[in-house]
A and B are shown apart, each in its own frame.
Chain A
Amino acid sequence: MSLSMPDFSQPESTKGKRPDLRRILAAPGVAAILTILGTVALWELAARTLNIPSYLLPAPSSIFSTFPSIGAERWAGHVWATLRVALLGFGLAIAIAIPLAIALVRSPALNRTLYPLLVIVQSTPVVAIAPIIIVVLGAGDAPRIVITTLICFFPMVVSTATGLAATPPELIELSRSLRAPGFREITQIRLPFAVPYIFSALKISVTLAVIGAVVAEFCASDAGVGYFIQFSTSMFKLPQAWAGLFVLAAMSLALFQAVSWAQKLLFPWSLPRKR
């Protein structure tokens, strides 16, 4: 079973031939990289020729030049502060969401009582509760982790519960006819069947976790990439703020990719098969 991305773009006619330009362009990722490079080049050109003031839209070159001036150590400190909160919040969300989803599927009574409550919690804008949570939980990582968890656990609950319920009814009947213990119906049938659902939720939630960590930093913090962006804008150092934004985007992408890799590595059968 291949661990590489499915290749949809390979044209049949060029297979087996000497690599030519068309073939290189069709290789996975090449088009995306070229598009990004092209956008950056256009942006640079526009910023220089149109004389756009750097507080409106700094040129990419001035954004990238802030990276060395900040220094690797300071970047690492901010990235680690944000990453730590995002990952702890994400982990806590998993630890709450999956048992909760199991409980909701196992107990119709709980589903009727708890589910509406969850929807209400989800409907409340987390950005608005964040300052309240910080007042209640005080300084430190705890309120930031709670905010992150709140923002990313709901998609996990809904998706996991959907997956648990989407198990073929025949297998549930098989389980019942064997008079097997109820927990094995969850561990051996329902949870594995929910894996694709759980992972699509994890991919969404891991990027939400970065948003949660940044929201928390905006409210109260003295470290982290979100704090760095806020601090930079207050000093009118816009290129520096943009650099922080790039770092956040890169973090989200890396986390998303990490979740995708984890699925490929741990549950290769849960991915659509390449034929």
Chain B
Amino acid sequence: MEIPAAIRFDRLGQVFETGSGRVEALRNVSFEVARHEFLAVLGPSGCGKSTLLRMIAGLLEPTSGAVEVFGRRVTGPREDIGIVFQKPTLLPWATIEDNVVFPVRHKRGRVGSHDRDRAQELLRMVGLEGFGKRLPDELSGGMQQRVGIARALHMDPDILLMDEPFSALDALTREEMGFDLLRIFGERPKTVVFITHSVSEAALLADRVLVMTGRPGSVLTELPVPVARPRGRETIKDPAVTELAAHLRDLLLQRDAA
């Protein structure tokens, strides 16, 4: 028997009933994400990219079609999925360490020393060793988003969903965060769905890029990133990456012009 994909969208459609009428957010979306694959989803604003993530997480029911995670249809929220949001959305009253262990405290009501050890290990991994006792507003936006990543990884999810996680950061920090992600997932591979507006970010990070059309969102094309791992700072200058980025940009611009 063939190994089921980590995530599978099957002719999925999503229609929202709003006060001003029906809005078709997604139409006939089908794609698969293999285990430990890094998929970047690229598309114009309002093409339903975030809606896709919410459906994988089981926070939203599709109007038609189905989402499967590890061969099983998603019917409600799943615990084996971590989410990194566009904004860090940390708890302002809790220390950085408490923020990282928050999923455990929230789920079980208490936190063990093992959970704290794991938080320390994750903070080290995201480059925030020694910041555990600080409060979120003592940290920069980039550092806060690293805490958000550590929080999403604390329960050791099989799948990580990232919803434009670096879009609120300045260009340099954003690039740094990209390199850090390459290193983090190089150490511990995860199945990642990464929503982004940035073509270079998609080309640098992903194994495959899914390009979506505008509303209603549907899959325009899927492109593999023909660059071997491990990748690093020099990958940005790799002709294969720059060519792919240029091609992706053309695809998006054509769609906008059409």
Q: Which residues of A contact B (CB under 8 A)?
A: 168, 170-171, 173-181, 184, 188-189, 192, 195, 267, 269-270, 273
On chain B, the residues within 8 Å of A179 by CB distance are 76-77, 79, 107
Could you tell me the distance between the alpha carbons of A267 and B57 in the complex, rounded to whole angstroms?
Answer: 33
| Inter-chain contact A175/B87, CB cutoff 8 Å | no
Judge whether A180 and B106 touch: CB under 8 Å. Answer: yes
**Interface contact B87-A184, CB-CB below 8 Å:** no
What is the bound-complex CA distance between A178 and B87, given in angstroms? 19
B92 at the interface (CB under 8 A from A): yes
Q: Which of B54, B59, B106 contacts A188 (CB 8 A)?
A: B106
Chain A proximity mask over B76-108: 1 for CB below 8 Å, otherwise 0? 111101010111010111000000001101110
23 A–B pairs (Cβ distance < 8 Å), ordered by A:
A168-B87, A168-B89, A170-B85, A170-B89, A171-B91, A173-B59, A173-B85, A174-B83, A174-B89, A177-B58, A177-B59, A177-B77, A177-B78, A177-B81, A177-B83, A178-B77, A179-B76, A179-B107, A181-B109, A195-B93, A267-B93, A269-B93, A269-B135
Give chain B's interface secondary structure class: loop
A181 to chain B, nearest CB (A): 8
Smallest CB gap from A188: residue in B:
B106
Chain B residues with Cβ below 8 Å from A189 are 91, 106
Nearest Cβ on chain A to B160's Cβ, whole angstroms = 12
Task: Compute how far the CA of A230 lies from the CA of B91 in the bound complex, rounded to whole angstroms.
Answer: 50
What number of B residues sit within 8 Å (CB to CB) of A?
26
Q: Which residue on A lies nearest to B163, using beta carbons?
A: A170
**B86 and chain A: residue at smallest CB distance:** A170
Roughly how many angstroms separate A192 CA and B76 CA in the complex, as a whole number? 27
With both beta carbons as reference points, the residue of chain A lying nearest to B137 in the complex is identified as A273
A178 touches B93 (CB 8 A): no
Q: What is the CB-to-nearest-CB distance from A71 to chain B, in angstroms, rounded to a whole number? A: 47
B226 to chain A, nearest CB (A): 34
Residues of A contacting B93 with CB < 8 Å? 192, 195, 267, 269-270
Complex Cα spacing A189 to B137, Å: 17
- Whether the pair A184, B106 counts as a contact (CB closer than 8 A) is yes
B83, A188: Cβ atoms closer than 8 Å: no
Measured in the bound complex, the distance between the Cα atoms of B89 and A168 in whole Å is: 7
Q: Report how far A135 CA is from B132 CA in the complex, Å.
A: 60
For B107, list chain A residues within 8 Å (CB): 178-180
Nearest CB in chain B: distance from A183 CB, A: 10
Determine the residue in chain A with the shortest Cβ distance to B93.
Answer: A269
Closest residue of chain A to B135, judged by CB? A269
CB-CB < 8 A to B89: which residues of A? Answer: 168, 170-171, 174
- Shortest CB-to-CB span from A213 to chain B, Å, is 33
